[in-house]
Amino acid sequence: GQNIDQPTEMTATEGAIVQINCTYQTSGFNGLFWYQQHAGEAPTFLSYNVLDGLEEKGRFSSFLSRSKGYSYLLLKELQMKDSASYLCAVRASGGSYIPTFGRGTSLIVHP
């Protein structure tokens, strides 16, 4: 099976930088996804990492270290609209490639 850990909640100030960590244990690894989900809305895809290193997409970047079973999502120049839950999802190798979602990190951005 898989085990995914994320902090339950984080707070940050508008304009600042925040790093949301995700650690995972899986038998085989075939990719890690980050999704953003506003309360009561659909998760929306942010990033995908399958190789070690940093993927940058505008204000959002995602990092992966497969040897450490670790990823983080970095949000820069925080805006109030970034207040949301951030879900880390890990796909194991073999089988059906269904990603397992973490419980999510609720990020609160305050002025």
Q: Which two tokens stand for residue 47?
A: 């990033």
User: Alpha-carbon distance 57 to 74, whole Å?
Assistant: 10
Interface with other proteins, residue 84, by CB under 8 A = no
Pick from 23, 26, 83, 100 the residue near other proteins by CB under 8 A.
100
Interface with other proteins, residue 97, by CB under 8 A = yes
CB of 35 to other proteins, least distance (A): 8
- Bridge pairing between strands 99-101 and 84-91: antiparallel
Pick from 16, 50, 80, 108 the residue near other proteins by CB under 8 A.
50
- Backbone Cα Rg of the chain: 14
CB 7 within 8 Å of CB 86: no
Which CB, 76 or 99, lies closer to other proteins? Answer: 99
Window 16 to 35, contacts with other proteins (CB under 8 A): 30-31, 33
DSSP character at residue 42: -
Residues that bind other proteins (CB under 8 A): 30-31, 33, 40-45, 48, 50, 87, 91, 95-104
